[in-house]
A and B are shown apart, each in its own frame.
Chain A
Amino acid sequence: GNSVTQMEGPVTLSEEAFLTINCTYTATGYPSLFWYVQYPGEGLQLLLKATKADDKGSNKGFEATYRKETTSFHLEKGSVQVSDSAVYFCALKLSGGFKTIFGAGTRLFVKA
């Protein structure tokens, strides 16, 4: 079936460290791929997205590239801040589908 697998957390980093959160997917056809972020006490919000192979989504210093050959959409940031502490969800949406399929989420802690 269609699914998203992301690395288990929590991930703990020091401020200014490099961040990678791995995400791979299984899907029929050519889905759109998303990263959502959930800050404490809030709902999920879109961080970035990519709608076709080799597209790069970027926002707030975060980047992810749609890799069809490896069915991956890894999230990266060159220098994390304490304010980036949150739960990050990788997700996909199928062509013609209504719903978004989410991964389990990865909690990130950034220490000052």
Chain B
Amino acid sequence: DAGVIQSPRHEVTEMGQEVTLRCKPISGHNSLFWYRQTMMRGLELLIYFNNNVPIDDSGMPEDRFSAKMPNASFSTLKIQPSEPRDSAVYFCASSLAGQGQRAEAFFGQGTRLTVV
């Protein structure tokens, strides 16, 4: 299996622009997670989906952030408008919900976002 695939790997954008990050989970996995990692705040869970339905979006920092999962093999995280403080590494992860609490999370390689 190719693992969790994220694109792009790196994104540099100007403040105010819209940014879309993409994720393809491992085939057959039915839980998907978006995380943000910064030096200051560490690893933060933004939102997670189960069977394509958002379960908890309480970690989404503000209305500028939105996430969708239109089907089992694709998810997006959008920031509009972007701000310099959004600069971070964004990770997507997937797991198999049927394994319950034993299930590990598989992470993608991340998207490094820089907003200038």
Contact assessment for B42 and A104 in the assembled complex, using a CB-CB cutoff below 8 Å: yes
**Stretch in B14-22, B62-70, B74-82, B106-114 touching the partner:** B106-114
Tell me if A43 and B48 are in contact (CB < 8 A): no
Contact of B100 among A36, A96, A105 (CB under 8 A): A96
- Please tell me if B55 contacts chain A, counting CB pairs below 8 Å: yes
**Distance of A44 Cα from B33 Cα, bound (Å):** 13
Q: Kindly list chain A residues whose C-beta atoms are within 8 Å of the C-beta of B42.
A: 102, 104-105
Chain A 87-104 interface mask (CB, 8 Å, partner B; 1/0):
001000111111110101
Residue in contact with A46 in the complex, picked from B33, B43, B104, CB distance below 8 Å? B104
* Secondary structure type dominating chain B contacts: strand
How far is A36 from B105 in the complex, measured between Cα atoms in Å? 9
Residues in B neighbouring A95, C-beta threshold 8 A: 100-101
What count of chain B residues pass the 8 Å CB interface test?
A: 24
- Describe A's contact surface by its main secondary structure: loop
Chain A neighbourhood of B108, CB < 8 A: 43
Contact of B33 with A93 in the complex, beta carbons under 8 Å: no
Q: A residues bordering B, Cβ < 8 Å? A: 31-32, 34, 36, 41-46, 49, 51, 89, 93-100, 102, 104-105
Seen from chain B, the residues whose Cβ lies within 8 Å of a Cβ on chain A are: 4, 31, 33, 42-43, 45, 48, 50, 55-56, 91, 93, 97, 100-110
